[in-house]
A and B are shown apart, each in its own frame.
Chain A
Amino acid sequence: MSVLTSLAQVQAAAAGVAQPVATVRHCHLAAAPLVMVPLKMAGEAAAPLAVMLGSDRAAPELLAVPQPRNRDLRFAFAAEFAKLVLEHVAANVGAAESLGEGKDGEERVRYTEAPQILLPNRGGVGFLRLLGRSTRFRRTEGPYAVEPAVPALGRWLTWYADRHDRPGSSLLLTMTETLRLHWATGQSSLEDGNLAALVGWIDPPDGLDGPAAARRAEDPVASPPAGPATDPTFDNEVLAPAIAAYDGAGRDPRAEERVRDALRGQLAPTWDLMWRSVDLLRTLPEGGSVARRWERDRDGFTWFHRSFAESLPQPRRDIAVRAARRLHDLERAQDAYEAQRAFDDPLVMIEHRLNGLAFGGVVVGGDPARLDESGKRPKLRPHLLVATGDPVRLDPGATVVNAARPGLKGRVLEVGADGVLVELTGGMGRGLVPAAGSVPQVGERVVFTSLTEGSFGPARFPEAEDTPWTHGGPPAEYVPTDEDAQEDWS
């Protein structure tokens, strides 16, 4: 939240429709993502009620639990859910690009695709995380045995939920967060959490404006909530009687169909909204650095997939070293992600121009072919004078790069009334004459910034065996115990 985004919001409120806060799409969108709309049972930690999922908008699959208190039905659901998710994962393990040999001499590869999951909102991520936690420790033999696909599902869901926390990752996206990254509405973030209201502001139906569309979206009877929580009046008036009828009819398939119909009615509108959201995002061209971040995602997927068979389920709690390293990695990833978005998108760069860490304007003068002959050998050091109205806060000597072409580096010499004087120091080719087109001409618009992609180097962390006693000492090897598998599922 900043003056910039708040301005966009008041502009939206006045206009009655959402305003763009991005000119490019800052996330990767797969050709056939797995769209998932989960519903959970009220009052339980992670008892699934139903899920509508699929990668073809015309062919959603509906999985439902007609009596959520029945353990067998819950695990049958989990097994079917596992099957569909694992199928989607497998469909993305196809071609791989070779990355040459690694340090240990082994061939390194990266899959060319990775499975992407799309959820309506953050509640869905929390739900997948809990579902992953409640399934990944299950045993496949002995008492309380489950099908092998179930713990596998748990590990994948946990992995996806963890990746969602990583800034810049597109493996698991929530539509509310992703849409808000690109549009500002005239309602609060609380209301933006309602996907139907958010889409209503961004793309109001004919004859309505944003606020009217959002009002309609707040009526849970006309517009079922996107989940995972269900509407209480739906639970009490529709679902509970249907479940009771199912119980009373002795598992009659027609009674089951009644429960499924009720749930389908709650899920189908959100399913449509999810695909509309995807369409809206596809109207934006992909940002320049998106492919690079998706590569990191593909690396992660490749590693997790290939080591799946020998690995253990993720432990309940991070060990101290891993937690510190993860936090550090996340901070670096956040900085890099913010910088990359600014370089990709002039609308985002404005944030930094307002902070004085970037400035933009027209080149009004300078010396494009200037040589610096003060040292032993002459160096190409063109001068540019950029006229700008931005509140520049860079000191003389600050290193800057060209936002449109970060290879072009320079140094701020002077910030004066007629503009900023920049000395270019690199990115113009080898010779003493600048390569064609590498130096901005008079009359051109440019933006220079002191932003770089990543401000601190890799952290120095002790190896796990050397964890200091202040952090609990070296961690014990994680061995799955009987207790893990023995947990009741109420």
Chain B
Amino acid sequence: MTDTAPALDRLRGDAPPRNHDARTIAALTANPGCARRGLMDAAGVDKDAVARHLGFPAPFGQSQFAITRGNGFEQQVKENGCAELLTLLRERAGLDVAEVAYDDLEVVAGGEGRELRHARTRALLGRALDGDAGTLFDHPLLKLDIAGQPAYLEPDVIAFQLAGRFHVVEIKSFAVIDGQAEPEQVAAAARQAAVYVLALRRLVAELGHDPARVSHEVFLVCPENFSNRPTATALDVRPQLATVERQLARLTRVDRLVEALPDGLTFALGEELPETVRAVEARYAPECMASCEMAIFCRDEARACGATGVLGRSVRDDLGGVDSVAAALELADGTREAPPELAELAGQLRTAARLRAEALQLAAAGGVA
């Protein structure tokens, strides 16, 4: 890994490595097969800045109403020593009445410096592991190594201690209605929480304790039905943990990609940027729009090449993985010879094309097939 580090630094150019948070780390797990993304993430390139420089900015911005609602709900759950959260955890997780200790890690001695907060987080969590009491830890600051760079994770999460084990708590403002919430929102929260669990486990291990003392069970706190009353749901994030760990391991294995690149290539924002980006192959699919800032650029590139990937993964699969629109059409009209593994598909395409043309012609003529 240390071999590639200087190469990756050069790739990134003179820009500082991009700041990750749990959401962007969770997004790293999408589209593992994309070399362009893999390399940019490993080098810590700011994909947002690159996309903007290339003229394809990613849509930006969150509604202030949503932000206010989210902050307001979080504040409400946490106010007065997390009174509402304590009530929930007592009911749902069997927290004992005596377990009410509250430690604020958001601000240390009137300052919000990251190193200070992280040091204090380590200290307090270390003491808790050693048997000292401590129940709720508000806004702990965790660190996670992403491709050789430290990422500071500041969850709107509280790790609480129950029977010697830490549980991550995520407060989200989407509603749970009649016991159910939007699956994509729950999935995103689970992925994010898994990143926190991972970071917390690594910290616990560094402090010389068993990482299993961080539970894989996280608590999701959401408004209930149409009110502001919170409700807590336990989530098992083992599957998401495995995915994140796999993807982080993959980030370190970019040696081959780096070797294959011409010397002097860099993602620095400059004239050669388009050339650099195009030199590394992408694997665009519509799912990229939800997880990668380069999506609009890659979509435009894929469209210009007439790639079938822009139509979606299932369409591409239906077409037997045929990469280009032109190739698919040539198979369908018989002007392209199909390789043996595509023979059956080509036959289907030809029949389909013939039948469509026939049916449309008859319909235009007012006839009946």
Whether A and B touch (Cβ < 8 Å) is answered with yes
What residues make up the interface of A, taking CB atoms closer than 8 Å to B?
1-11, 13-14, 20, 23, 41-46, 68, 130, 133-134, 186-191, 211, 230, 232-233, 235-236, 240, 316-317, 346-347, 349-350, 353-354, 360, 389-391, 403-404, 445, 447, 487-490
- Which residues of A have CB within 8 Å of B250? none
Are A391 and B347 touching (Cβ within 8 A)?
yes
- Which residues of A have CB within 8 Å of B310? 13, 187-188
Are A360 and B369 touching (Cβ within 8 A)?
yes
Rounded to whole angstroms, the CA-CA distance of A354 and B350 in the bound complex is 10
Number of A-B contacts defined by CB within 8 Å: 159
Rounded to whole angstroms, the CA-CA distance of A347 and B359 in the bound complex is 6
Are A3 and B355 touching (Cβ within 8 A)?
no
Minimum Cβ distance to chain A for residue B244 (Å): 25
6 sample A-B contacts, Cβ–Cβ < 8 Å, listed by A number: A43-B66, A188-B315, A346-B359, A353-B355, A354-B351, A354-B355
Rounded to whole angstroms, the CA-CA distance of A403 and B362 in the bound complex is 15
B123 within 8 A of A: no
B148 within 8 A of A: no
Q: Which of B66, B70, B356 contacts A8 (CB 8 A)?
A: B356
Known: A3-B348, A187-B310, A188-B286. A45 touches B177 (CB 8 A): yes
Rounded to whole angstroms, the CA-CA distance of A317 and B177 in the bound complex is 11
Minimum Cβ distance to chain B for residue A316 (Å): 5
B214-240 contact mask (Cβ, 8 Å, vs A): 1 or 0: 000000000101111100000000000
**Most central of B289, B326, B328, B332 by chain A CB within 10 Å:** B328
Rounded to whole angstroms, the CA-CA distance of A354 and B352 in the bound complex is 7
Are B353 and A7 touching (Cβ within 8 A)?
yes
Known: A1-B315, A3-B348, A46-B226. A232 touches B369 (CB 8 A): no
- Which residues of A have CB within 8 Å of B319? 3, 6-7, 10
B360 within 8 A of A: yes
Minimum Cβ distance to chain B for residue A406 (Å): 13
The secondary structure that dominates the B interface is: helix
Known: A10-B325, A42-B63. A189 touches B355 (CB 8 A): no
Are B178 and A133 touching (Cβ within 8 A)?
yes
Of residues 131 through 173 on chain B, the ones whose CB sits less than 8 Å from some CB of chain A are 173
Chain A residue nearest to B319 in the complex (CB): A6
Chain B residue nearest to A185 in the complex (CB): B311
B94 within 8 A of A: no
Are A1 and B314 touching (Cβ within 8 A)?
yes
- Which residues of A have CB within 8 Å of B335? none
Rounded to whole angstroms, the CA-CA distance of A170 and B209 in the bound complex is 61
B287-314 contact mask (Cβ, 8 Å, vs A): 1 or 0: 0010000000000000100101011101
Chain B residue nearest to A348 in the complex (CB): B359
Rounded to whole angstroms, the CA-CA distance of A317 and B359 in the bound complex is 46
B109 within 8 A of A: no
Minimum Cβ distance to chain A for residue B186 (Å): 14
Are A488 and B329 touching (Cβ within 8 A)?
no
- Which residues of B have CB within 8 Å of A189? 286, 312
Are A43 and B67 touching (Cβ within 8 A)?
yes
Rounded to whole angstroms, the CA-CA distance of A236 and B297 in the bound complex is 26
Chain A residue nearest to B289 in the complex (CB): A190
Q: Which of A1, A14, A211, A389 contacts B325 (CB 8 A)?
A: A14
Q: Name 10 extra pairs, CB < 8 A, besides A1-B314, A187-B310, A490-B223.
A: A9-B315, A11-B329, A23-B359, A43-B65, A190-B286, A235-B64, A347-B363, A445-B362, A488-B227, A490-B228
